[in-house]
Amino acid sequence: MAKLKYDTITDDDEKLDLADQLHYREIEHQQYDRNADGFKALLDAMAPLNLPAEWPDELKQYRKMTRDQVIEAIEDEATEELVLNLLHRKQLRERWRAERHEAKRVEQYIEQIKAQLPKQKAAYDKVLLDAKTRRQARGQ
């Protein structure tokens, strides 16, 4: 498919738009990083609980239950607490891994955008500054 020739969008407009896309992708990446760091900190904070590295065989039946299902199914308070902590750790690990995966995906977008921006540092920096100035003028 042939690329459409734009009559109202200049090369400079396109570069500014790419610089804006880069800005917003970097914000997105920063948020994924921040979230991943938070989930990792929560996982680290669970260390004093001395949870088993793997689910004990006798508790594996609870791995896919919700919190409320566990509370309903287990009468022993200590076992309930252990299972709920194991479930919580599992959820934190999943979220931590998901945030890291999303950050890597955004890195690919960032590299693709950067490849379309000027290669010369001075021109690159100017486009980024011009885009920032334009965002500020728009109140963004």
pLDDT grade for 50, boundaries at 50, 70 and 90: very high
pLDDT grade for 119, boundaries at 50, 70 and 90: very high
pLDDT grade for 2, boundaries at 50, 70 and 90: confident
Domain boundaries along the sequence of the chain = 12-137
pLDDT at 79: 97
pLDDT grade for 110, boundaries at 50, 70 and 90: very high
Mean pLDDT of the chain: 96
What is residue 56's three-state secondary structure? Answer: coil
Q: CA 118, CA 102: separation in Å to the nearest integer?
A: 26
pLDDT tens-digit series, residues 4-33: 889 999 999 999 999 999 999 999 999 999
pLDDT grade for 85, boundaries at 50, 70 and 90: very high
- Tell me which residue of 108, 126, 98, 82 sits closest to 39, measured CA to CA: 98
pLDDT at 131: 95
**Residues above pLDDT 70, as percent of the chain:** 100
Distance of CA 26 to the CA centre of its chain: 11
pLDDT tens-digit series, residues 51-66: 999 999 999 999 999 9
Give every CB contact of residue 22 below 8 A, 6+ residues apart in sequence.
Answer: 110, 113, 114, 117, 128
